Amino acid sequence: MSHISTIAVVDDDQAIREALDDLIQSCGYQSKLFASAEEFLAFDDRAAIDCMLVDVKMPGLSGIELQEILNGEPEKPPMIFMTSYRDERTRMAAIEGGALAFLGKPVEFDSLINYLELALKP
């Protein structure tokens, strides 16, 4: 039986989580939805996550702060950031921290699918 990739969506906007959930499932992947970085960090099966779609600005921990925490762990999945705030310093922090991509909202689905396929290549 083949492994179905699981993608975590970490975004405080419920409409965005639901739209990404639909997109992810239409591509044949599974999704886990989280309303905050803290909710993701409390998830007890983080090893099952194959890729992450992360909002930059959220109440509590930001996506960049979540990335910094996960960078301290032995294994972390590839991260794709999404944001309405396209400032260069934040983009550079994400990329330097190892992000696969830094996409502006509204996210172009074709571009996002291409990055997901890149992140999930064996």
**Running DSSP on this structure, what letter comes out for residue 46?**
G
What tokens were used for 61?
Answer: 């921990």
* CATH tag for 6-119 (out of 1.10.3720.10, 3.40.50.300, 3.40.50.720, 3.40.50.2300): 3.40.50.2300
Average pLDDT, 10 consecutive residues per value, the chain (122 residues): 88 96 96 98 96 97 97 93 88 94 92 95 84
| The model's pTM | 0.95
Among 47, 24, 45, smallest CA distance to 116 is for: 24
**What rounded mean pLDDT belongs to the chain?**
94
Domain boundaries, the chain: 6-119
For residues 8-47, one letter each, b for 16 or more C-beta atoms within 10 angstroms of the residue's C-beta and e for the rest, the string is bbbbbeeebbebbbebbeebebebbbbbbbeebeeeeebe
